Chain A
Amino acid sequence: MSDAPARVVFTAGFSNRYTNGVREFEVTAKNLRGVIRAMDEMFPGLGTHLEEETTVAINGELHETGYFQTVPPGAEVFFIPRLEGG
Chain B
Amino acid sequence: MNDSVIVSDSVKKFKWIGTRPIRPDGVPKVTGRALYGADLKLPGMIYGKVLRSPHAHARIKKIDTSKAEALKGVKAVVTAKDLPEQKFEYIGPERVAVNFWHVTRNILAREKALYEGHAIAAVAAVSASIAEEAAALIEVEYEVLPHVIDVDEAMAPDAPLLFEDMVTRGMDGGKPSNIAKRLEFKMGDLDAGFAQADVVIEKEFKTAAVHQAYIEPHACVAKMEADGQGEIWSSSQGHFQMRALTAQILGVKIGDLRVTPAEIGGGFGGKTVTYLEPVAALLSRKAGLPVRLQMTREEVFKASGPTSGSSMWAKVGVTKDGKIVAGDVILKFQAGAFPGSPVMNACLCAFSPYDIPNARAVGYDVVSNRPKAAAYRAPGSPIGHFAVESVIDMCAKAIGMDPLDLRIKNVAGIGTPTIAGPKHAHAGFRETLEALRNHPGYKAKLGKNQGRGVACGYWFNGGGESSATFQLNADGTVLVATGSPDIGGSRASMALMAAETLGVDYDQVRAIVADTGSVGYTHVTGGSRVTFATGAAVVTATKSAIKELCKRAAMIWDVDPEGVVWEDGHAKPAGSNVGDFKPLSVKELAAKAAATGGPITTSAGVNAGAQAPGFSAQFCDLEVDPETGHVTILRYVVAQDVGKAIHPSYVEGQMQGGVVQGIGWALNEEYIYNSKGLLDNAGFLDYRCPVASDVPMIETILVEVPNPAHPYGVKGVGEANICPPMAAIACAIEQATGKRMTELPMSPPRLLAALSEG
Contact = CB atoms under 8 A, between A and B. Distances in A.
A60 B719 CA distance: 21
A81 interface: yes
B409 interface: no
Nearest to A10: B421
B421 A59 contact: no
Contact of B610 (A63, A82, A83): A63
A11 interface: yes
A69 to B, nearest CB: 6
Contact of A86 (B268, B464, B465, B609): B268
B93 A82 contact: yes
A40 interface: no
A11 B529 CA distance: 25
Given A52-B91, A81-B94, A86 B422 contact: no
B424 to A, nearest CB: 6
Contacts of A83: 93, 95, 344-345, 348, 460, 462, 527
Interface string B454-482: 00000111111100000000000000000
Interface string A69-86: 100000010101111111
B518 interface: no
Interface in A35-70: 52-53, 57, 59-64, 66, 68-69
A21 interface: no
Q: Select the residue from A53, A59, A62, A68 with max chain B CB neighbours within 10 A.
A: A62
A13 B184 contact: yes
B719 A86 contact: yes
Contacts of B464: 64
A81 B95 contact: yes
Contacts of A57: 420-422, 425
Given A83-B345, A85-B528, A86-B269, A11 B609 contact: no
Given A9-B421, A69-B609, A86-B272, A62 B719 contact: no
A85 B459 contact: yes
A28 to B, nearest CB: 20
Contacts of B96: 84
B377 interface: yes
A13 B170 contact: yes
Binding site secondary structure of chain B:
loop
A80 B92 contact: no
A73 B421 CA distance: 19
Given A80-B422, A84-B375, A84-B526, A61 B609 contact: yes
Interface string B361-405: 000000000000001111100000000000000000000000000
Interface in B84-105: 91-96
A64 B94 contact: no
A81 B607 contact: no
A38 to B, nearest CB: 19
Contacts of B422: 57, 60, 62, 76, 78, 80
A61 B93 contact: no
Contacts of B421: 9, 11, 57, 78, 80
A12 B187 CA distance: 11
Q: Select the residue from A60, A62, A86 with max chain B CB neighbours within 10 A.
A: A86
Given A52-B91, A83-B93, A76 B423 contact: yes
Nearest to A57: B422
B192 to A, nearest CB: 18
Contact of A85 (B183, B425, B529, B607): B529
B57 to A, nearest CB: 28
A78 B361 CA distance: 19
Contacts of B186: 12
Given A13-B183, A64-B607, A84 B719 contact: no
Contacts of B183: 13
A84 B425 contact: no
Contact of A64 (B92, B344, B425, B463): B463
A84 B91 contact: no
B382 to A, nearest CB: 10
B709 interface: yes
B611 interface: yes
A85 B184 contact: no
Given A80-B422, A84-B526, A86-B527, A61 B709 contact: yes
B442 interface: no
Given A62-B463, A63-B610, A64-B464, A86 B376 contact: yes
Nearest to B610: A61
Interface of A: 9, 11-13, 52-53, 57, 59-64, 66, 68-69, 76, 78, 80-86
Given A78-B421, A83-B93, 5 more contacts: A11-B421, A80-B422, A82-B93, A83-B95, A86-B719
Which 5 pairs show the lowest CB-CB distances between chains A and B? A85-B527, A86-B269, A63-B609, A60-B425, A57-B422
Interface of B: 91-96, 170, 183-186, 268-270, 272, 344-345, 348, 375-379, 414-415, 420-426, 459-465, 526-529, 607, 609-611, 709, 719
14 contacts: A11-B185, A11-B421, A13-B183, A63-B610, A64-B609, A66-B607, A83-B345, A83-B462, A84-B379, A85-B269, A85-B375, A85-B527, A86-B377, A86-B526
